[in-house]
Amino acid sequence: MAGSDWTCSLSTMREWESPDYEPSLPISEKSNPLTRDIDRASATCIVRMLQASDAQMFQEGTGTTYKRLLSEQVVETLMEVAKRVELILEDPQDSLVVLSGCGTSGRIAFLMASSFNRALRELNKSPVYSYIIAGGDKALLSSQEAPEDDPRMGMLSLKRVCEGKRRVLFIGISCGLSAPFVAGQLDFCLQHPEVFTPVLVGVNPTHQARDEPIPGCTFTFRSVVQRMQELAKSQKAFLVNPAVGPEAISGSSRMKGGSVTKILLEVVLSAAHAATFTNTSVTYMGILQHMRAYEKTLDITYAQEEGISALLEAAGRSLRRGGRVCYLGWGSLAATGLIDASECIPTFGADYNDVRGFVSGGYRELNNNEGPLISLGPDFCIAHEDFLRLALPSLSDLDAVLLVYTHSDDVCDVVKLARRVREKTSNLHAVYHQVDGDTAAAVQQNDINKVCLSSLRISWPPPASRSLLHMQWELSTKLLLNAVSTGAHVLKGKIYQNHMIDVQVTNSKLYGRATRLLRKLSGCPEHRCEDALLKAIYRVDELTADISSSDINTHTLAARNRTKVVPLALVCLLTGRSLQEAETHLERQPVVREAVEACLSPSTRRGVIVARPRT
Ligand code: S6P
């Protein structure tokens, strides 16, 4: 199935919807049947699989199963939320729209608040949007998974942002309906209904919301959701939670989860802005049309299968040979690159230097709450000048550089930087968006093409609105860069079947995922898997009473500075080797997938798809 002729049938597209398919897992944690063999696929097949997985976002429901993006109920709720935003835009005095989340969800919250505040500024209006990301602004650019488990911190940060406000629309984003940080904020809103109207955005049905006790709290995410469902009947709370199918890499909600969050929020906020500033009422058809524009975005992007596959190959080759991948971005696409790069660290256990993003204009362009973060170290140096200073001098053909821009950006600046990079590496690629027939930057583009090994042009029909076009460009760039960084790590051997085997175990969600993965791949009972995980975290062959009696928070804290925790635990479980022997085994075979496969005798292959050579 993973051969160069990979195609998928409708029944594979819909297999995850069956109640018998991985019934104990919420959709956001299920493995996607479409990508079962992604670890064995060629670059082209990886792109096709990702395209099929993304297409599931727009698949219509079959009636009896889940609510989908285009379901009547979802569209109607979006209309209601848009009208609430409209009320705030019309009378912004002492009012606020707060968007909040952890990891990717917080990053999307940031992007939305920034771009819609910018739209307000252009109209000479004061900003009404605020964002909160668990762990603060450094989480925009780096992996900060632990704050996700802290409901109190969530509540306090919301309280701080809303000090003195009389009316707040709070949009809490948690794809898995699972982050305690967001649960704490929603609970706070429910306790203060005179000020707060809570909206929850996610991609699981409500009955799959996480029900694990949260230490120190009387509520779980699910109990908060149930309280919201009650209030939703009288439109005092809103739940926007269409199912979009499992992620291409299990649990990697930076992919579809992030994309669908961006789509939902842009649809709502654009409708509210149009209603307030151009007298275009919020309508069902308007919302639907905007959604369809995103569906078209997928088609236009993935029509470039060949170009995307070539980029993915180039990035994969660099990573496999110990080189780097650098995104140099302009305009709003630059932040998309920065975010995609930062997410490789927790997702694939990557080093911060493996994939890096740089933004034209640096922090000035990013315009984040806390301003420049360069004092936190070189990983937080994000401007093109920083790239020239820190990365360019040591650049070689091993490293792949991607220029990411549109023809509305400063293309002369792209030419200049492209020439400088070309002096160091021929492994230079351009990805750019252009409106059909727009030839204004043709000369400069020609110059860029001359120095680049490949140039991927994504061409768009003349837009109905400039702002919609920009949103489409951003989504298209997100899909493309997600494909490049995910695909490159797949080619590097960081994925096992469609699981992130080298995942960092730095919060309770990831701890649970790691234990489940060990169960699935080793076939051992849960208690043995958890023991193996703890031994790998604490690097001990025997668990002490102290370790066994500690809580998950303590374990995830201890796992912060550890690498290869899950692969080590798995090798120990499969072979009965000591930790040290397992470590040596993994050192000898750094491709995690191959190291694990080498341990799999036929008798231990339970639940494991037999490996086939990459085609
Ligand atoms: C996922 C990403 C994570 C999640 C974060 C929040 O690819 O690495 O950082 O965004 O865990 O998840 P959720 O389900 O609350 O949106």
Residue by residue, what is the 3-state secondary structure of 533-554? Answer: HHHHHHCCCCCCHHHHHCCHHH
Asked whether 343 lines ligand 1 (CB < 6 A), one says yes
Helix (H, G, I), strand (E, B) or coil at 98: strand
Q: pLDDT-based confidence at 503, cuts 50/70/90?
A: confident
Asked whether 175 lines ligand 1 (CB < 6 A), one says yes
Residue 160: CB atoms within 10 A of its CB come to: 9
Compute, in angstroms, the gap from residue 39 CA to the centroid of ligand 1: 22
Segment among 63-67, 459-463, 465-469, 522-526 with least mean pLDDT: 63-67
With CA atoms as reference, report the closest residue to 366 among 378, 384, 351: 384
Going by the DSSP 8-state scheme, the letter that residue 57 receives in this structure is G
Asked whether 340 lines ligand 1 (CB < 6 A), one says no
Topology of domain 501-610 in CATH is Helicase, Ruva Protein; domain 3 (1.10.8)
To 10 degrees, the CA torsion angle through 514, 515, 519, 522?
60
Mean residue pLDDT of the chain comes to 93
Question: In the block, which residue shows the tokens 């109920």?
Answer: 73
pLDDT at 64: 64
With a cut of 80, say whether residue 601 has pLDDT above it. Answer: no
Helix (H, G, I), strand (E, B) or coil at 271: helix
pLDDT at 86: 98
Residue located nearest, by CA, to atom 11 of ligand 1 = 103
Asked whether 506 lines ligand 1 (CB < 6 A), one says no
Compute, in angstroms, the gap from residue 412 CA to the centroid of ligand 1: 37
pLDDT at 62: 75
Cα Rg of the chain (Å, integer): 23
> In whole angstroms, how far apart are CA 7 and each of 101, 204, 387, 614, 615?
35, 27, 40, 16, 14
Asked whether 178 lines ligand 1 (CB < 6 A), one says yes
Residue located nearest, by CA, to atom 15 of ligand 1 = 174
Helix (H, G, I), strand (E, B) or coil at 517: helix
Q: Kindly state the average pLDDT of the residues 80-87.
A: 98
User: Using an 8 Å Cβ cutoff, are 44 and 7 in contact?
Assistant: no
Compute, in angstroms, the gap from residue 253 CA to the centroid of ligand 1: 6
ipTM > 0.85 (yes/no):
yes
Q: Give buried/exposed letters for 328-348 (b at 16+ CB in 10 A, else e).
A: bbbbbbbbbbbbbbbbbbbbb
pLDDT at 605: 45
Asked whether 101 lines ligand 1 (CB < 6 A), one says yes
Give the C-alpha separation, 385 to 389, whole Å.
Answer: 6
Taking only the tens place, the pLDDT of each residue in 155-184 is: 999 999 999 999 999 999 999 999 999 999
Compute, in angstroms, the gap from residue 446 CA to the centroid of ligand 1: 40
Looking at per-residue confidence, does 595 or 249 come out higher?
249
Asked whether 210 lines ligand 1 (CB < 6 A), one says no
Give the C-alpha separation, 520 to 211, whole Å.
Answer: 22
Phi and psi, residue 132, nearest 5°: -130, 135
Same fold, 304-496 and 501-610: no
Residue located nearest, by CA, to atom 4 of ligand 1 = 103
pLDDT at 611: 38
Q: pLDDT-based confidence at 604, cuts 50/70/90?
A: very low
Q: Packing angle between helix 442-451 and helix 411-422, nearest 10 degrees?
A: 10
Taking only the tens place, the pLDDT of each residue in 401-453 is: 999 999 999 999 999 999 999 999 999 999 999 999 998 899 999 999 999 99
User: Using an 8 Å Cβ cutoff, are 84 and 292 in contact?
Assistant: no
Helix (H, G, I), strand (E, B) or coil at 2: coil
Q: pLDDT-based confidence at 608, cuts 50/70/90?
A: very low
Asked whether 346 lines ligand 1 (CB < 6 A), one says yes
* Helix boundaries (H) for 353-507: 362-366, 384-386, 411-422, 442-451, 466-492
Give the C-alpha separation, 41 to 1, whole Å.
Answer: 9
Q: Which two tokens stand for residue 14?
A: 């819909």
With CA atoms as reference, report the closest residue to 206 among 67, 103, 76: 67
Compute, in angstroms, the gap from residue 251 CA to the centroid of ligand 1: 8
Segment among 62-76, 328-342, 464-478 with least mean pLDDT: 62-76
Taking only the tens place, the pLDDT of each residue in 215-250 is: 999 999 999 999 999 999 999 999 999 999 999 999
Looking at per-residue confidence, does 58 or 589 come out higher?
58
Give the C-alpha separation, 590 to 81, whole Å.
Answer: 49
With a cut of 50, say whether residue 531 has pLDDT above it. Answer: yes
Asked whether 259 lines ligand 1 (CB < 6 A), one says no
Going by the DSSP 8-state scheme, the letter that residue 467 receives in this structure is H
Give the C-alpha separation, 567 to 297, whole Å.
Answer: 37
Q: Kindly state the average pLDDT of the residues 337-341.
A: 96
Give the C-alpha separation, 215 to 547, whole Å.
Answer: 18
pLDDT at 607: 40
Asked whether 54 lines ligand 1 (CB < 6 A), one says no
Atom of ligand 1 nearest to the CA of 261: 16
Question: In the block, which residue shows the tokens 């091993």?
Answer: 398
Q: Which two tokens stand for residue 309?
A: 């596959």
With CA atoms as reference, report the closest residue to 97 among 145, 119, 140, 130: 130
Asked whether 179 lines ligand 1 (CB < 6 A), one says yes
With CA atoms as reference, report the closest residue to 495 among 567, 552, 424: 567
Compute, in angstroms, the gap from residue 31 CA to the centroid of ligand 1: 16
Indicate the class that CATH gives domain 91-246.
alpha beta
Q: Where are the beta strands (DSSP E) in 69-226?
A: 95-101, 129-133, 167-173, 196-201
Residue 500 is inside which H or E element, if any? strand 499-500
Compute, in angstroms, the gap from residue 255 CA to the centroid of ligand 1: 10
Task: Kindly report the CATH number that applies to the domain delimited by 304-496.
Answer: 3.40.50.12620
Q: What is the dihedral sign for C-alpha 555, 557, 561, 565?
A: positive
With CA atoms as reference, report the closest residue to 477 among 340, 593, 293: 340
Phi and psi, residue 455, nearest 5°: -130, 120
Centroid of chain to Cα 464: 28
With a cut of 90, say whether residue 463 has pLDDT above it. Answer: no
Asked whether 253 lines ligand 1 (CB < 6 A), one says yes
Taking only the tens place, the pLDDT of each residue in 506-525 is: 999 999 999 999 999 999 99
Domain ranges of the chain: 91-246, 304-496, 501-610
Q: pLDDT-based confidence at 63, cuts 50/70/90?
A: low
Q: How far apart are the first and last CA of the chain?
A: 10
Compute, in angstroms, the gap from residue 140 CA to the centroid of ligand 1: 12
Asked whether 290 lines ligand 1 (CB < 6 A), one says no
User: Using an 8 Å Cβ cutoff, are 102 and 148 in contact?
Assistant: yes
